[in-house]
Structure 1
Amino acid sequence: MISWRKHYKKGLIAIGLLLSTSASIYGQDGDPKNGEKLFKANCTACHALDKQVVGPALKGVVDRLKTEQGLDTDWLHKWIKDNKALRASGDKYANEVFEKFNKTEMQVFPNLADKDIDDILAYTTNPPVEEPKADPAATTATDTANAAPANNTTSSIVIISLIAIAGLLVWILVKLRQLVKLGQSEELTGLNETRVKSFSEIYEKYHYIGKGLLAVLAILATYGIWNWIMWIGVYKGYKPEQPIYFSHKIHAGENKIDCQLCHSSAKYGKVSEIPSMNVCMNCHRTISEYNGKYIEPGKDKAFYDGEIQKIYAATGWDAEKQQYTGKTTPVEWTRIHNMPDFVYFNHSQHVVAGEQAIINSFNKKNPDNKIDVVCKACHGKIDTMNVVQMANDFTMGWCIECHRTTEIDMNNGYNKEYFKNLHEKLKKQYPKDGGKITVDAIGGLECGKCHY
């Protein structure tokens, strides 16, 4: 009897240990939904569930470590919180992982509580199943069925309209036949003999009117040729296709990426330059597929994923091995904005010195279409464009008009010091709007400012 109780007690203890170990192994003691949020906030820069990125794929990592290395979740807690300390302690597997992934140091997360880590591990073990999306084909079929009565009504209206048009044509033919018979009468025959029958006779009779019309036509032709010449090189609305599709709406609009993160030279150089592919790889080294909510009409996720693969092909990036192959392919971008060689334009002068003045002037002139970034004053609402286009004329007159209407902030440190001896003189010389000074007052219309 005592022996049976002893074995029963041991059995309960073993079952309890097995259940607790199993729960720990398979990550079921955490909340997968909360783990998903934590995973996306802390881990997705370097990890994915189903594939290697900077670090290994994490789906089933708890079970994999237990099976392959005999390690439990305590080791994962130590690794996630401070992998550097774990490696420094001489842990064999921690150092093997470090060597395997090119000695890329994982960020430490001392801020994550044990419960947070358990939630993340639960998500990697049993990720929540996404709700199935509505089938577009089924939706279309339903819409088509609902639209069937309306289509029948429309067909009836079209048939009635065609019958009415046919009747009208028959009536017109009858009237034309009557007119032909009338033209064969003796009265009309006599009138036809008195009519002018050649162009020369008409010209002799109405030569003053003819010369006047020719003069008007010559003036209109001259104006047309002049207008055509003046608009050579003006390509407002020009939006060519590029070798790699790049949506500014997704990057600058949906994801709020600062313009100067990619076009960094616009702030410190004459030209803004086209970002190199290495700039793209700063993000796309870990973003190998598109998972955004916004999808442009006519496009789908597969399309965007294919464009990301073009970036990898151009840079020679092997996403599976997470390393460069050395085989690169230049990307032949089609330039959109291109000033003539005889025009000098400095981006930094406008982006830095004139930034606030340009924004204030634009918003004052366009109260219903205000901007928050100086780039939009010239390039338009770039964060709403899927395909970039030339938003303005970029003619000499367009630039001059901006210089005449953009007020300078004479109170900023540079202008206040540089123009301190001229400030009062300029106020008297340009008394418009209570002494406000615009760009043209400080040389903004001098030819040598923009032309060599």
Structure 2
Amino acid sequence: MISWRKHYKKTLIAIGLLLSTSASFYGQDGDPKNGEKLFKANCTACHALDKQVIGPPLKGVVERVKTEGGVDKDWLHKWIKDNKALRASGDKYANEIFEKYNKTEMLQFPNLTEKDIDDILAFTTNPPAPEEKKTEAKTATDATAAAPADKTTTNIVIISLLAIAGLLVWILLKLRQLVKLGQSEELAGLNETRVRSFKEMYEKFHYVGKAVIAILAILAAYGVWNWLMWIGVYKGYKPEQPIYFSHKIHAGEQKIDCQLCHSSAKYGKVSEIPSMNVCMNCHRTISEYNADHYMEPGKDKAFYDGEIQKIYAATGWDPAKQQYTGKTQPVEWTRIHNMPDFVYFNHSQHVVAGEQAIINSFNKKNPNNKIDVVCKACHGKIDTMNVVQMANDFTMGWCIECHRTTEVDMNNGYNKEYFKNLHDKLKKQYPQDGGKITVAAIGGLECGKCHY
């Protein structure tokens, strides 16, 4: 009996060790929830759980490396921390993976602790189920909130109909009075004094007629002049583009700097339309829209995913094989801001030299609508626009007004040296401005600055 109990005890210990070893091997000794956070912070640039991105899908990676390479979790720890060193040591499976994925070198993560890696592996082995959205509760709340609004709308409609009915009754009564008046002798007397022709009317009221014609002529001339002055002014113009691109999502929600995509605005005359390769810098790994916290009304995940697929079609990218096919399609963007050929405008001059001066001037004139990026002074708050539109007039008068009110930054080292002697002269020349030097004061109103 004692011997049986002794063997039974050993068996239980062995089973326990086996289970704990198995759980450890399959990544279950980590914290999947913490692993999810670490995965998103460190791995999502190159990996997804269920599909190949730059690297292979990582769901069930612990089991996969055991089956394919006969290696355990300790091997994964070494691979994640420093795969380059593991390959250099001659590890056969490590070099096979390197060759299999086009010799794309994985980043090293020496900063991750053993526990961090265990948590990540636990997440890839058994990812937590996504929390169900409480749509039913939200719908019930919305319905309850909408009920009083519907009742108020019904009351307004009833009151409006009663008012219209009352107005119709009043009109009918007045018409009846007019009919009675037409049958009276009083109307016959009025008919005798009535003007019977246009000639008689003109002779009787010719001074008034001439005055009215003169006023109409002036108004017509002003209307034609005003129409001519606004030719080519398209404030509010927002055309539909071949690929839907929301600046609110990219510049607003994701805080992407304007000059990351429009790099030539800082160094060149023209702010170019970014090439599709610029889009692929991010969308090579972002193949679907997962930002549930923001979706434009009327659009869903399928819509945004479809627009990303248009980027792939334009660049000839095969997301399944993670390689370019060489078959590209041009994207015909619709230009929004377009200066006439006789106007010279240099973006770099405003974005670099005039950046702080323009921001300061704009914020001074618009204390309740301040900007933090110089681009917004002309293009509006682009980070709030789903569809980009022309935010200002872009007329000559609009530009001149800006030159008259924008002060030159005399604390700038270059300006301080360049306008050293001019500064005192301009203070005397423009005493009404309190010695402030505006763009107009240094030649900003000269025709040849913008037209030549």
* TM-score of the superposed pair, with normalisation by structure 1: 0.94
Structure 2 match to 1:184: 183
In the TM superposition, residue 10 of structure 1 has moved relative to its aligned partner by 5.4
In the TM superposition, residue 142 of structure 1 has moved relative to its aligned partner by 6.0
In the TM superposition, residue 164 of structure 1 has moved relative to its aligned partner by 5.9
CA contact (8 A) 1:289 1:304 kept: yes
Structure 1 match to 2:309: 309
Query: For residues 149 and 277 of structure 1, do their structure 2 counterparts lie closer, same or farther at Cα, with a shift above 3 Å needed?
Result: closer
Structure 1 match to 2:243: 244
Query: For residues 141 and 437 of structure 1, do their structure 2 counterparts lie closer, same or farther at Cα, with a shift above 3 Å needed?
Result: same
Structure 2 match to 1:283: 282
* 3-state SS of paired residue (1:423): helix
Moved more, 402-411 or 327-336: 402-411
The amino acid that maps onto 2:272 is E
Structure 1 match to 2:436: 436
Query: For residues 445 and 166 of structure 1, do their structure 2 counterparts lie closer, same or farther at Cα, with a shift above 3 Å needed?
Result: closer
CA root-mean-square deviation: 2.1
Query: For residues 412 and 24 of structure 1, do their structure 2 counterparts lie closer, same or farther at Cα, with a shift above 3 Å needed?
Result: same
- For 1:165 and 1:431, the matched residues in 2 are separated by 64
Matched, 1:385 2:385: yes
Moved more, 160-169 or 28-37: 160-169
Deviation by residue 1:116-170 (Cα, 9 ceiling, x = unmatched): 000000111111112111336x744664467557646754664565456435524
In the TM superposition, residue 6 of structure 1 has moved relative to its aligned partner by 7.2
The amino acid that maps onto 2:273 is I
The amino acid that maps onto 1:447 is C
The amino acid that maps onto 1:101 is Y
Structure 2 match to 1:57: 57
- For 1:180 and 1:20, the matched residues in 2 are separated by 104
Deviation by residue 1:338-365 (Cα, 9 ceiling, x = unmatched): 0000000000000011111111111111
Structure 2 match to 1:211: 210
- For 1:21 and 1:184, the matched residues in 2 are separated by 112
- For 1:188 and 1:9, the matched residues in 2 are separated by 125
In the TM superposition, residue 48 of structure 1 has moved relative to its aligned partner by 0.6
Moved more, 355-364 or 147-156: 147-156
The amino acid that maps onto 1:272 is S
CA contact (8 A) 1:25 1:66 kept: no
The amino acid that maps onto 1:301 is K
- For 1:221 and 1:65, the matched residues in 2 are separated by 83
CA contact (8 A) 1:24 1:72 kept: no
Query: For residues 405 and 147 of structure 1, do their structure 2 counterparts lie closer, same or farther at Cα, with a shift above 3 Å needed?
Result: closer
Structure 2 match to 1:197: 196
Count of residue pairs brought into register by the alignment: 451
Deviation by residue 1:408-431 (Cα, 9 ceiling, x = unmatched): 112322112222232221222222
CA contact (8 A) 1:35 1:121 kept: yes
The amino acid that maps onto 2:120 is I
* 3-state SS of paired residue (2:112): coil
Report 1:33-432 matches (<5 A). Answer: 33-135=33-135, 139-140=138-139, 143-144=142-143, 147=146, 151=150, 155=154, 158-159=157-158, 162=161, 165-166=164-165, 168-292=167-291, 293-432=293-432
| Identical-pair percentage | 87
- For 1:19 and 1:313, the matched residues in 2 are separated by 49
The amino acid that maps onto 1:378 is C
Query: For residues 225 and 85 of structure 1, do their structure 2 counterparts lie closer, same or farther at Cα, with a shift above 3 Å needed?
Result: same
Query: For residues 141 and 9 of structure 1, do their structure 2 counterparts lie closer, same or farther at Cα, with a shift above 3 Å needed?
Result: closer
* TM-score of the superposed pair, with normalisation by structure 2: 0.94
- For 1:411 and 1:145, the matched residues in 2 are separated by 60
CA contact (8 A) 1:30 1:122 kept: yes
- For 2:420 and 2:161, the matched residues in 1 are separated by 79
The amino acid that maps onto 2:134 is A
CA contact (8 A) 1:363 1:369 kept: yes
Matched, 1:28 2:7: no
In the TM superposition, residue 249 of structure 1 has moved relative to its aligned partner by 0.7
* 3-state SS of paired residue (1:209): helix
CA contact (8 A) 1:317 1:323 kept: yes
* 3-state SS of paired residue (1:123): helix
* 3-state SS of paired residue (1:112): coil
In the TM superposition, residue 100 of structure 1 has moved relative to its aligned partner by 1.2
Deviation by residue 1:66-120 (Cα, 9 ceiling, x = unmatched): 2333221101000000000011111111111111111111000001000000000
The amino acid that maps onto 1:444 is G
- For 2:367 and 2:29, the matched residues in 1 are separated by 56
Moved more, 382-391 or 189-198: 189-198
* 3-state SS of paired residue (1:206): helix
Deviation by residue 1:267-326 (Cα, 9 ceiling, x = unmatched): 000001000000000000000011112111121111111111110111111111100111
* 3-state SS of paired residue (2:129): coil
Structure 2 match to 1:14: 14
* 3-state SS of paired residue (2:420): coil
- For 2:328 and 2:437, the matched residues in 1 are separated by 52
Query: For residues 353 and 166 of structure 1, do their structure 2 counterparts lie closer, same or farther at Cα, with a shift above 3 Å needed?
Result: closer
- For 2:162 and 2:345, the matched residues in 1 are separated by 65
Query: For residues 163 and 438 of structure 1, do their structure 2 counterparts lie closer, same or farther at Cα, with a shift above 3 Å needed?
Result: closer
- For 1:238 and 1:102, the matched residues in 2 are separated by 47
CA contact (8 A) 1:61 1:125 kept: yes
CA contact (8 A) 1:66 1:72 kept: yes
Query: For residues 6 and 315 of structure 1, do their structure 2 counterparts lie closer, same or farther at Cα, with a shift above 3 Å needed?
Result: same
Moved more, 154-163 or 417-426: 154-163
* 3-state SS of paired residue (1:387): coil
Q: Which runs of 5+ in 1 are unaligned?
A: none
- For 1:278 and 1:154, the matched residues in 2 are separated by 52
- For 1:258 and 1:156, the matched residues in 2 are separated by 50
